[in-house]
Structure 1
Amino acid sequence: MNDEAYSSPVTAPKIERINIPFLDIAVTPLTARQTAEIVTSSTGRQLLLNHNLHSAYLHEVDDKFRALYSLANWIVIDGTPIRWLASRRSHRFRSAYRTGSTDWIAALPRCQVKRRLFIFGATLESNEAAVENLRRALPDWTIEGLNGYVSEESALTSITAFRPDIVLVGLGMPRQERFLLAHLHELPEAIYATVGGAIDYVAGVTRLSPRWLARFGLEWLWRLANQPRRLAYRYLIEPIKLFGLVAARTARVRRLIESKDSGSRVE
């Protein structure tokens, strides 16, 4: 990616970041309403990303994934473990917010604005259904979409021709992040939000977990029960691997500090 071609935001509300050294990530504590207001009121080429344990794992092992996150304007909390760690880290945000993509998308009608929205991702049927559902929810908006099984060149052409204000990119991790990292400099100025599988939820193809599960941070159990083949590795294996990687990194840093301290004492 050409860093010089990546233009800085025209307007970017400054929201305090919470650094989580244990995972080497940072998050922006925003509610769904705050996120929707930022997305609909900001201008320029900007990035709204999110963090959960899956993204934290990819952030640890994927250089390109980590590179895109270094460019993000906002990184909302999309996972209960990340919310808990953020709450522990900052006294100001003892009740740090968990904001999934479906949460802030559902809050868009409350913003009282007209915008041009492009939805990129999911299957053709799911994308078309999501477009129609959001057109009903946002009757004053201009909304188009493109499924996630086209070439990147076709996607670039369609997004550019549409002249969007907001683009939802739902290609799944890490494909959506790699797409944006490779093409952000040539995409039109807009707010680009990675939304993973949220397009399927907006379309009604995938059912959201019951609200009572969300209150206890157990949505992952619902998803795992409904899509065990796709999500078993992510929910049951990745967290263990992430813990091992973080523990190894922490041990390396500790040894480095100890070696420097011992060298200083020798001198």
Structure 2
Amino acid sequence: MEHPCRPSHVRRLPLLGAEVDVVTPDMVMDFISAARGQKAIVANHNLHSLYLFKKRADMRRFYDHAALIEIDSVPMIAWAKLMGHDVSRAHRCTYLDFRDTFWGRAVAEGWRVYHIGGAPEHNAASKQAILKRHPGAQLEVRSGYFDVNGPANELLLADILAHKPDVLLVGMGMPRQETWILNNLDKLPECVILPVGAAFDYEAGVMYTPPRWAGQMGVEWLVRFFHEPKRLFERYFVEPWVLIPQMLGDLRQRGKRTA
């Protein structure tokens, strides 16, 4: 599905059974700025999302609606380079790397930002951390702990509409955040929508934040694993094996291109 907001100059690549866009964080910020007043999803792919993409039809439908699909994975970039695609580390887009660029643009251009996610007892701390670095930010924060099928969901949707955000950040973990966006897309206002996972838990200081050099070196996943081995073992050491057929497909396509 070709999204009407999708920039024509952005390269979209087939990779590991899905599609991703070759964009830098600055290109994403420019897209957000240009797409204000329109409903547009900026999604992202990593190895976990690719696993879910293969297993779940609702995740595939979600990505069908995305105007941009960032690469949030150094291993994916390394694989794309191995497959002969013109990509680099500069094309990794993840909140912890671009957060200050995002909030700087938000302040400079007056973006109204609304975040859903995190436990209610942490929301004040995450908002305070952002406002301390970027005092002019216009930010509303709401908890992600609610029944997505109950009255609380309707109250939240009404609150979002009342605040008329330019940017909606949904940080409820994957795939809950993606399915919530998909299921409520028609009821959301005209705004740019980004699933951001645990972004505000990092802001609140309640989740370990890997040093940025780990991301630059491509070992951030390993640092995360050592801090949360029980939660992340399956994600990092079991799920990637499911992608072997997709890897073989990429290898066949590379062979055709170079034949």
Bucket of the pairwise TM-score, normalised by the shorter protein = 0.7 to 0.9
Question: Are 1:35 and 1:104, in contact at CA under 8 Å, matched by a contact in 2?
Answer: no
The 2-side partners of 1:83 and 1:146 are apart by 33
Deviations 1:216-248 (A, max 9, x none): 2111111111122221111111112332x537x
The 2-side partners of 1:172 and 1:188 are apart by 22
Shift of 1:110: 3.6
Q: Measured at CA, do residues 18 and 90 of structure 1 come closer, stay the same or move farther in structure 2, by a change above 3 Å?
A: farther
The structure 1 residue matched to 2:49, chosen from 46, 55, 58, is: 55
Question: Are 1:169 and 1:196, in contact at CA under 8 Å, matched by a contact in 2?
Answer: yes
Shift of 1:71: 1.0
The answer to whether the aligner puts 1:136 opposite 2:129 as a matched pair is: no
The 2-side partners of 1:120 and 1:102 are apart by 17
Unaligned runs of 5+ in 1: 254-267
Q: Measured at CA, do residues 179 and 30 of structure 1 come closer, stay the same or move farther in structure 2, by a change above 3 Å?
A: same
One-letter amino acid of the structure 2 residue matched with residue 157 of structure 1: A
- The residue aligned with 2:246 is 246
The 2-side partners of 1:214 and 1:134 are apart by 21
The 2-side partners of 1:17 and 1:204 are apart by 36
Unaligned runs of 5+ in 2: 148-152, 253-259
Question: Are 1:12 and 1:42, in contact at CA under 8 Å, matched by a contact in 2?
Answer: no
One-letter amino acid of the structure 1 residue matched with residue 74 of structure 2: T
- The residue aligned with 1:177 is 178
The answer to whether the aligner puts 1:116 opposite 2:117 as a matched pair is: no
1:1-267 matches, within 5 Å, as: 9=4, 12-21=6-15, 23-43=16-36, 44-89=38-83, 91-93=85-87, 97-111=91-105, 112-151=108-147, 152-243=153-244, 246=246
The 2-side partners of 1:110 and 1:145 are apart by 18
The 2-side partners of 1:137 and 1:194 are apart by 22
Shift of 1:113: 1.3
Question: Are 2:43 and 2:68, in contact at CA under 8 Å, matched by a contact in 1?
Answer: yes
Shift of 1:156: 1.3
Question: Are 1:58 and 1:65, in contact at CA under 8 Å, matched by a contact in 2?
Answer: yes
The 2-side partners of 1:137 and 1:30 are apart by 26
- The residue aligned with 1:257 is none
Deviations 1:136-176 (A, max 9, x none): 33333321111111232232122112110001101111111
One-letter amino acid of the structure 1 residue matched with residue 140 of structure 2: E
Identity of aligned residues (%): 33
Secondary structure at the counterpart of residue 10 of structure 2: coil
Question: Are 1:49 and 1:72, in contact at CA under 8 Å, matched by a contact in 2?
Answer: yes
Moved more, 45-54 or 73-82: 73-82
The 2-side partners of 1:135 and 1:212 are apart by 25
Q: Measured at CA, do residues 164 and 90 of structure 1 come closer, stay the same or move farther in structure 2, by a change above 3 Å?
A: farther
- Looking at CA atoms only, which structure, 1 or 2, has the larger radius of gyration? 1
Question: Are 1:88 and 1:94, in contact at CA under 8 Å, matched by a contact in 2?
Answer: no
Shift of 1:90: 5.3
Question: Are 1:171 and 1:197, in contact at CA under 8 Å, matched by a contact in 2?
Answer: yes
The 2-side partners of 1:235 and 1:12 are apart by 31
RMSD between superposed Cα atoms in Å: 2.4
